[in-house]
Structure 1
Amino acid sequence: MQIVMRAGPGVFGALALVLVLAAITFSPGEAAGQAQPIAFPHKVHVQDYRIDCQYCHSEARRSEYAGIPSVTRCMGCHKITAADRPEVQKLQEYFNNQAPIPWVRVHKLPEFVHFPHKRHVRAGLACQTCHGPVETMTVAERVAPLTMGWCVECHTTRKAPVDCMVCHR
């Protein structure tokens, strides 16, 4: 006696769904705590030395993007401060080669989303609202989902505009 099992289209559909859900669930996403070319301890700079976020991310108050500080900005302090440390020596190498640091992006929104940092900064919103407790992080990671629902909930709570064209262009 031979038993033959046949799978119909429903089984293949269910299997495909399981595989897609597994890929979404277990995919690393956007640089969630990924290693960077230079180990930058936000905790040391923000919590220990009390350097304001906007000192390094100065574009946040006047632009759509907060921006990543240039090597020159970093070397403004590190020509003298902690120059003997291995990570600062890596920084010095980028500076000497006049090369930008190839940081791995942690926070990225879809192309169709317009997020002006300057509006949020001028409204007095703390950077931690969207970026999480960066001041305690040794490796930057994405904490908030930054989904449309998450943003709309924040806008609704703070009585900020929820018109589609405010964020979508």
Structure 2
Amino acid sequence: MTNPTINPEDFNAILREVLTENAPTTTTPHTHTLAFPLHKVLAAAEHATAAPKHALGPRDTDPGPRLWWINGDGIYLMSNGIYNTPNTHDETGHWRHIAHADNCGPGTDPSTVLGGDGLHETLDLTHAPADGQPLINTLRTAATGGATRFLLHITYNDNNRLLTTATA
């Protein structure tokens, strides 16, 4: 018996249909809060704001000072600032200007938060939201006021993700 030949377009259409039908959906919002050491987040943010150049994130269209929230080798916030320095890693081999979330340092499995690694979100540091001040100002004020943690609250389902921040 021979198998019929299926062209790639038909195969892809069938695959999409099967995966969509069998994919679990989550319409109920879930929440998760990540806590970061404020002094390290502020150091990364100050690095980004002082940098003469800035790398673009996946959906960024204009360069500017930002923190990147990344699930990869742990879960961390990282400066997108670019300096012309040859050593981008510290003496232990880790990236400089990052702040790992509590209990989510290098070597930890990020799949416990939002289902895996490879996540890359951007937090703008200098543009003020309609209901507040720029994130860099919030971080500076919190640090001088005695706060020690930066909190990233994530509310998500299959359709969207909402990030809010706070300090404590």
* Pair in the same fold by TM > 0.5: no
Relative contact order (C-alpha < 8 Å, sep 6+): which is higher?
Answer: 1
TM score, norm. by length of structure 1: 0.29
In terms of fraction of residues, the more strand-rich structure is 2
